[in-house]
Chain A
Amino acid sequence: GAVVSQHPSWVICKSGTSVKIECRSLDFQATTMFWYRQFPKQSLMLMATSNEGSKATYEQGVEKDKFLINHASLTLSTLTVTSAHPEDSSFYICSARDHQRNEQFFGPGTRLTVL
């Protein structure tokens, strides 16, 4: 199957700092990527849909100025958590849509801990 990577796999930061998480499709081009957030022992909640070359579409209740998404190439989308606070601590998972295979592949996730 296709491979989607995320970097870093885990990050610890101080409150007030910004953190960037990368999502890469390694062997296919992804015009669409999705960012999810997962709280402990809970389900995945879609945060936003990232489209290459255009603005991301955010789900209701997700602050676009807080969670900046950039999809500058067909293989890379980034999520920046700005001015992070402890309540932003979570497991962030991306997925990339392979249009040729009409499938969606998930990254391994990034665990963010804000102190």
Chain B
Amino acid sequence: AQSVAQPEDQVNVAEGNPLTVKCTYSVSGNPYLFWYVQYPNRGLQFLLKYITGDNLVKGSYGFEAEFNKSQTSFHLKKPSALVSDSALYFCAVSLSGGYNKLIFGAGTRLAVHP
């Protein structure tokens, strides 16, 4: 079965420090991987995606993620966290074939402290 795991419910980081939000996946075939951010009572905002090509993907707001096929991971990173980055982050995978239905991880709440 296809699944996405975000092992951390919450990540706390000080402003200015690097941040990592972890994601691992389990799918058959080639995965299409996504990161979304959600602010309170809002829908999801797209951050970045991996389809094919370079394993390091750069996205919105200074975020990036690295696709690691051997570890089946797609961790989200940012070199220097901002307080405004505090939000709920979702990793998602789409089944092979493109932008089909997404399977989401449980979400990780990022708290950036001043």
Interface residues, chain A, with chain B CB atoms under 8 Å away: 1, 4, 6, 34, 42-46, 49, 91, 93, 95, 97, 102-109, 111
Partner of A43, one of B46, B98, B104: B104
Q: Which of B21-52 contact A (CB under 8 A)?
A: 36, 41-46
Q: How far is the CB of A18 from chain B (nearest CB, A)?
A: 23
Question: A102-B98, A103-B99, A104-B99 are contacts. A43–B105 as well, Cβ < 8 Å?
Answer: yes
Between A and B, 20 residue pairs with Cβ closer than 8 Å are: A1-B46, A6-B43, A42-B107, A43-B105, A43-B107, A44-B102, A44-B104, A45-B104, A46-B101, A93-B44, A95-B44, A95-B102, A102-B99, A103-B46, A104-B102, A106-B46, A107-B43, A109-B41, A109-B42, A111-B41
| Bound: A44/B45 CA distance, A | 13
Q: Which residues of chain A are near B41, meaning CB under 8 Å?
A: 91, 109, 111
Partner of A106, one of B44, B98, B99: B44
Interface residues, chain B, with chain A CB atoms under 8 Å away: 36, 41-46, 90, 98-99, 101-107
Q: Which residues of chain B are near A104, meaning CB under 8 Å?
A: 99, 102
